[in-house]
Amino acid sequence: MCEKPKTFEEAKALVGGPLGVEMEKYPLKFATAAYFGALPQRGTPATVSSGTASLLLLNGQHFALTCSHVLNGYRKCLGNGPSIFQLGNCALDPLAQLRFEDEKLDYALIALTEDQANEVAKVGGAFDGTFFTEPVQWPPGEVKQGEFVAFGGFPGELREAVSFDKISFGSYSSGASKVTSVGVDYLVCQFERDYWITHGYEDEPKTIRGMSGGPVFAIRHNGDSGIMTYEFVGHIFEFSESFELLYVRLARVVQV
In a domain, 229, yes or no: yes
pLDDT at 214: 97
In a domain, 1, yes or no: no
* Count of structural domains, the chain: 1
Q: Any idea what the CATH number is for the domain that residue 130 is in? A: 2.40.10.120
Round the average pLDDT of the chain to a whole number and report it: 85
Peptide bond into 27 cis (omega under 30): no
Question: Which of these, 208, 202, 201, 198, lies nearest to 157 by C-alpha position?
Answer: 208
pTM of the model as a whole: 0.86
DSSP state letter for 93? -
Inter-axis angle of helices 18-25 and 8-16, nearest 10: 70
pLDDT at 163: 60
State pLDDT tens for residues 105-161: 999 999 999 999 999 998 766 566 789 999 999 999 999 999 999 999 999 887 776
200 phi-psi bin (left φ>0, alpha ψ -120 to 50, beta other): left
User: Which of the residues in the chain have pLDDT under 70?
Assistant: 1-21, 43-46, 124-128, 161-166, 192-207
Question: Which of these, 76, 82, 88, lies nearest to 129 by C-alpha position?
Answer: 88
In a domain, 212, yes or no: yes
In a domain, 3, yes or no: no
**How many other CB atoms are found less than 10 A from the CB of residue 217?**
24
Cross-strand partners of 245: 190, 240
In a domain, 2, yes or no: no
pLDDT at 1: 45
State pLDDT tens for residues 34-51: 999 988 777 666 678 999
In a domain, 35, yes or no: yes
Contact indicator for 171, 130 with CB cutoff of 8 Å? no
In a domain, 38, yes or no: yes
Question: Which of these, 190, 212, 176, 175, lies nearest to 31 by C-alpha position?
Answer: 212
Contact indicator for 66, 86 with CB cutoff of 8 Å? no
3-state secondary structure of 98: strand
- For 56, the domain range is 8-253
Q: Measured between alpha carbons, how far is 52 from 46 in angstroms, rounded to an integer?
A: 18
In a domain, 220, yes or no: yes
